């Protein structure tokens, strides 16, 4: 990983981990501890376990497929992403579904993906060699796009209609051929909820569409099943203000109890996809709380009533056990003095009128009364059917921390700790999502968990001189939508001036950039009744059919990419400080990459403010966007840069360092070739360690650059890589590579080299190692980022680097030709004609991510295909070999290398 300082260390009807690869035979110390100690530990690898390839989400056995016959490109074929017409497709694929409740309208809509990679000759060559095709896309008519989740208050239904009209969602989206014309009067939108009946005429009048009503409970269950299978960290518990995510095995999901708390409460026993039964309910639900609360407190909105409860003290109204027993517990039956004996019971003995009681106390007492009863009735129904899992959802919860705590306490109390209340991050969208899935051609129910990626808003509203973010609305609108008042991108909200959004202005002279670092003051935690707004803050689901689980993981079910536990407050504070301190330098490089224009400076300031707002939010509430790991945090930074249109902040630095490193590569290769086999192997590994220290942003690297040229620094650094290293498995690696005595093992068939930084790291470190493997008859696949992240090399950049290196090395040239890397390269014709093309190829594949870290549960289909015949993995760099995947266990040999902590970990 580049650019960071390093730290070596994870009855009513409702309306609405893995262990380290090596264990000591005596005390089983973790690999992580081995970074902090210089002891050499001996040990073996854990037993082999059968992996799971992922759980397919299926609801229907078959459906009509998208008709792609006679498809043709519309307009200019030279466009980067030309529109494709499907003349024989008989039906339009609808892009919108609604759940219209009494209080909220929930929308789920689809937009086509914009970020597609180019399919150049090199990529086609690699795909042909790996046996890849795009045939699987025929099963996914709308994939390669995004699912958006949006809410409107029902009383503001006209705003909802304006939003739908502005995006042409009722006509299949703005990119639909029908977007600019009138509908034919037969357009249909799937909808559920009571409002689907109440507002059907309004939709017909305003939009010219009909609402096709879907059964509410069918939709709830379909939405819940999809989310629990598709989103890795969808379910969580909430006790005493602490949110903990629960990993649900899709193969062990059923049966469960789904408790939907809308105006009333429905309790649904779910036995499978499309198999459910409403087994109970209660008419005491969210409507009860809102109705009684409105009468008793005069509040004008549900949220106002919840807000009141945060400041309340129920002891002034509720009769507690201690009130009956003189302040004592009733220990014989296990009741504490603070247990509510009778909700509102204390008002019986007090000569007070309604106006004598604080509205805050009334709201809290009412909230506890209803929440406790729902929790108890839910548990009794779970007990009745022998169900261990209870999921709660619905408008009543509204992401309110105290509501969840109260329900959780009730379930825990009545079950004596044997059952847990669980909640869903997307709970407000179950019905809308289920309605969306009722379209026959959506393709969602064929998805697997690893094919969905959730992205969060990278901007935050800036009003009244403060950042109030991140926002909770529709968060992924792009530049093409800018003319609509509903569709302004989050970047623009930082840059434009308007009545609601005030543009932040640079606080330093125009010649520079503010490079804002540090945190905005986090919002106060307040009392334990603080509303947990994060449950309303859900991201956009990106549907990516070209993602796969890395097939060489020993056990994907137990794999945990993050090495560092950010649940540890000290780790969280450390990394947030690192990211904050590094922010000014990152902003400076980002602005420089865009020529330091005024627009770039403004965007740089906006990026700094937005990312600081995210850090402040996450420091206050680490689970705001789901389970937080270091990989997620670093990826969020890169997404934020891209949101503010900084495509590659280190572009110029990478180009300069690549050129400097390639210039000295011939001398290095000549030096390496003069060594005997054992010395050469050690020198190559030392070279990888030495070259990996060229990590722009680290102080050590900057200091080195003041002391000499790139080759001088490389050699000086290599000389300092004296053994023993903190984790030193070189002897194990040497034995596998060279053998001992007369015992020699055959060379590896295929090696996957996960590369890190541009410049010296790839050119002077990893390419010479790849060359050595090629000379031994091993196919080599260089695995690089799909998108830029700091100064990491990308898969798009690597072929040109290899082509330049191949000018100085016949081994690299022949391997690159065999691997299809020199299709477009400028190689001297006389050199390229010499000899036969090597049968051992050098290939480049993208890893499917744009972060310094990598989660091997979601990699590109290219990488997954390349891995099937691989028997050696080399993970290089802080992000990929330490911060993630240090403890990952593989089915084949694996070498993990990192310079800063002198790590060489080999597992055979």
Distance CA 672, CA 660 (A): 19
| 360-364, 521-525, 614-618: least confidently modelled range | 521-525
Residue pLDDT, tens place only, 211-262? 999 999 999 999 999 889 888 888 999 988 888 999 888 888 999 999 999 8
User: Please, which pLDDT band fits residue 669 given cuts at 50, 70 and 90?
Assistant: very high
User: Please, which pLDDT band fits residue 24 given cuts at 50, 70 and 90?
Assistant: very low
Residue pLDDT, tens place only, 391-413? 998 878 877 888 999 999 999 98
DSSP line for 778-834: -EEEEEEBSS--TTB-BTTTHHHHHHHHHTT-HHHHHHHHHTTTTSS----HHHHHS
| 33-37, 281-285, 577-581, 740-744: least confidently modelled range | 33-37
User: Please, which pLDDT band fits residue 444 given cuts at 50, 70 and 90?
Assistant: low
Tell me the Cα Rg of the chain.
30
The per-residue pLDDT for 449 is 67
Per-chain mean pLDDT for the chain: 76
Cβ(772)–Cβ(815) below 8 Å: no
Cis peptide upstream of residue 371 (ω within 30 degrees of 0)? no
Angle at 567 between CA 563 and CA 573, to 5 degrees: 95
With residue 615 as reference, give the H or E element that holds it: helix 598-620
pLDDT greater at residue 840 or residue 43: 840
| 294-308, 564-578, 820-834: least confidently modelled range | 820-834
Give the mean model confidence (pLDDT) for residues 334-360: 87
The per-residue pLDDT for 722 is 81
The owner of tokens 């070189």 is 730
Q: Which domains does the chain have, with CATH numbers?
A: 250-420+502-526 (3.30.420.40), 649-907 (3.40.50.10880)
Does 177 score more than 70 pLDDT? no
| 291-300, 616-625, 633-642, 663-672: least confidently modelled range | 616-625
User: Please, which pLDDT band fits residue 85 given cuts at 50, 70 and 90?
Assistant: very low
The per-residue pLDDT for 112 is 66
Residue pLDDT, tens place only, 834-886? 444 557 999 999 999 889 999 999 999 999 999 999 999 999 999 999 999 99
User: Please, which pLDDT band fits residue 62 given cuts at 50, 70 and 90?
Assistant: very low
The per-residue pLDDT for 806 is 95
With residue 773 as reference, give the H or E element that holds it: helix 767-775
């Amino acid at each position: 990983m580049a650019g960071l300082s390093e730290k070596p260390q994870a009855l009513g009807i409702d309306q609405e981990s893995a262990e380290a690869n090596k264990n000591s035979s005596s005390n089983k110390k973790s690999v992580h501890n081995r970074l902090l100690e210089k002891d050499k530990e001996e040990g073996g690898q854990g037993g082999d376990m059968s992996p799971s390839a992922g759980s397919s989400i299926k609801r229907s056995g078959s459906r009509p497929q998208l008709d792609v016959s006679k498809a043709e490109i519309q307009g200019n074929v030279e466009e980067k992403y030309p529109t494709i017409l499907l003349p024989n497709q008989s039906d339009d694929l609808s892009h919108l579904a609604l759940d219209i409740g009494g209080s909220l309208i929930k929308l789920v809509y689809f937009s086509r993906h914009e970020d597609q990679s180019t399919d150049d000759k090199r990529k086609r060559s690699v795909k042909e060699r790996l046996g890849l095709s795009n045939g699987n896309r025929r099963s996914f008519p709308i994939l390669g796009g995004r699912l958006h989740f949006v809410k409107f208050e029902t009383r503001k239904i006209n705003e909802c209609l304006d939003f739908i009209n502005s995006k042409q969602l009722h006509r299949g989206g703005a990119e639909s051929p029908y977007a600019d014309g009138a509908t034919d009067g037969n357009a249909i939108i799937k909808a559920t909820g009571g409002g689907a009946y109440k507002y059907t005429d309004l939709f017909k009048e305003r939009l010219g569409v009909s609402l096709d009503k879907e059964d509410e409970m069918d939709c709830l269950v379909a939405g819940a099943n999809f989310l629990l299978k598709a989103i890795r960290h969808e379910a969580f518990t909430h006790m005493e203000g602490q949110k903990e995510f629960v990993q649900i095995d899709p193969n062990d999901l059923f049966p469960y109890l789904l408790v939907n708390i809308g105006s009333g409460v429905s309790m649904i026993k779910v036995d499978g996809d499309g198999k459910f039964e409403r087994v109970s309910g209660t008419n005491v639900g969210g409507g009860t709380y809102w109705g009684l609360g409105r009468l008793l407190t005069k509040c004008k909105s549900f949220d106002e009533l919840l807000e009141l409860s945060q400041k309340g003290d129920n002891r002034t109204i509720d009769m507690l056990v201690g009130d009956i027993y003189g302040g004592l517990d009733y220990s014989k039956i296990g009741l504490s003095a603070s247990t509510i004996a009778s909700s509102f019971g204390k008002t019986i003995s007090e000569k007070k009128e309604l106006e004598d009681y604080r509205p805050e106390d009334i709201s809290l007492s009412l909230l506890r009364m209803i929440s406790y009863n729902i929790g108890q009735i839910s548990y009794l129904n779970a007990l009745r059917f022998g169900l261990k899992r209870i999921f709660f959802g619905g408008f009543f919860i509204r992401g309110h921390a105290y509501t969840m705590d109260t329900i959780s306490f009730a379930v825990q109390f009545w079950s004596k700790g044997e059952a847990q209340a669980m909640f869903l991050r997307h709970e407000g969208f179950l019905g809308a999502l289920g309605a969306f899935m009722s379209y026959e051609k959506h393709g969602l129910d064929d998805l697997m968990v690893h094919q969905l990626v959730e992205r969060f808003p990278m901007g935050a509203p800036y009003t009244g001189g403060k950042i109030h973010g991140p926002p909770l609305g529709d968060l992924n609108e792009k530049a093409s939508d800018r003319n609509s008042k509903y569709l302004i991108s989050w970047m623009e909200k930082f840059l434009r001036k308007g009545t609601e959004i005030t543009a932040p202005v640079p606080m330093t002279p125009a010649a520079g950039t503010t490079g804002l670092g540090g945190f905005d003051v986090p919002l106060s935690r307040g009392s334990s009744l603080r509303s947990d707004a994060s449950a309303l803050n859900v991201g956009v689901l990106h549907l990516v059919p070209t993602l796969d689980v890395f097939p060489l993981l020993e056990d994907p079910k137990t794999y945990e990419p993050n090495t560092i536990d950010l649940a540890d407050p000290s780790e969280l504070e450390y990394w947030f400080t690192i990211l904050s301190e590094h922010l000014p330098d990152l902003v400076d490089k980002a602005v420089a990459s865009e020529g330091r224009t005024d627009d770039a400076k403004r965007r740089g300031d906006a990026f700094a403010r937005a990312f600081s707002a995210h850090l402040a939010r996450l420091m206050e509430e680490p689970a705001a966007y789901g389970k937080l790991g270091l990989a997620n945090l670093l990826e969020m930074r890169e997404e934020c840069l891209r949101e503010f249109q900084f495509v590659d902040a280190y572009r110029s630095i990478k180009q300069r360092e690549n050129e400097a490193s390639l210039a000295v590569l011939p001398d290095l290769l000549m030096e390496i070739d003069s060594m005997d086999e054992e010395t050469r192997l050690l020198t190559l590994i030392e070279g990888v360690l030495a070259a990996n220290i060229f990590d722009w942003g680290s102080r050590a690297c900057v200091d080195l650059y003041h002391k000499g040229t790139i080759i001088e620094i490389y050699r000086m650094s290599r000389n300092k890589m004296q053994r023993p290293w903190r984790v030193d498995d070189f002897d194990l690696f040497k034995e596998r590579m060279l053998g001992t005595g007369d015992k020699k093992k055959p060379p590896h068939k295929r090696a996957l080299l996960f590369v890190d930084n541009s410049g010296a790291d790839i050119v002077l470190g990893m390419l010479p190692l790849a060359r050595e493997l090629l000379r031994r008859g091993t196919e080599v696949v260089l695995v690089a980022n799909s998108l830029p992240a700091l100064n990491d090399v990308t898969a798009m950049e690597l072929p040109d680097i290899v082509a330049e290196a191949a000018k100085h090395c016949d081994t690299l040239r022949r391997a690159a030709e065999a691997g299809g890397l020199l299709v477009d390269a400028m190689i001297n014709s006389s050199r390229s004609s010499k000899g036969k093309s090597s049968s051992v190829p050098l290939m480049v594949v993208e890893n499917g991510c744009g972060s310094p870290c990598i989660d091997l549960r979601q990699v590109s289909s290219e990488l997954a295909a390349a891995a099937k015949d691989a028997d050696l993995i080399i993970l290089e760099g802080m992000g990929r070999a330490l911060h993630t995947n240090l403890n990952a266990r593989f089915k084949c040999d694996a070498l993990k290398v990192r310079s800063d902590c002198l790590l060489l970990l080999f597992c055979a």
